[in-house]
Amino acid sequence: METVVCYKDRDNSFLITLTKNGVTLSPTEMSAITKFEIKHKGIFYNSIDNPSGFVRDNTNGTVQIKPYELGFDVSIDRVEFIVYDSGDFIHGLLWSVFVLKVSGEASLS
């Protein structure tokens, strides 16, 4: 399982490329997505209630996640990334699972 590291109260983010069968989603497929959601420490954060925390790029099939905009505390937790669309996945599709480590400070080791 992939681990993503971010730092609390810093302007750092990570990028998720959405692929289907190994191919990046097309702009049309990305446009059909109605909401992105992350489940972190049992709490759901979504792109409708927290639009600054999720920045989509339909052209490149990516979404930039900004934990500092969502107010995540220092922790290590398994995160679920869920995608909703207007067609097949109106109730959400678990797109990926990863470990998010939010650290209090960067180390130079």
CATH number of residue 12's parent domain: 2.60.40.3350
Q: Is residue 78 included in any domain, yes or no? A: yes
Residue with tokens 């069968």: 21
Token pair listed for 109: 């080791």
Q: Is residue 38 included in any domain, yes or no? A: yes
Give the number of other Cβ atoms within 10 Å of residue 78's Cβ: 12
Region of 71 on the Ramachandran plot (φ > 0 left; ψ -120 to 50 alpha; else beta): left
Q: Is residue 53 included in any domain, yes or no? A: yes
- Structurally, the chain folds into a number of domains equal to 1
For residue range 7-50, list pLDDT tens digits in order.
Answer: 777 788 899 999 999 999 999 999 999 999 999 889 999 999 99
Q: Which of 70, 83, 80, 71 is nearest to 100 (CA)?
A: 80
Domain of 30?
3-102
N- to C-terminal Cα distance for the chain? 23
Q: Is residue 56 included in any domain, yes or no? A: yes
pTM for this prediction: 0.84
Q: Is residue 109 included in any domain, yes or no? A: no
Q: Is residue 71 included in any domain, yes or no? A: yes
**Mean pLDDT, the chain, whole residue set:** 88
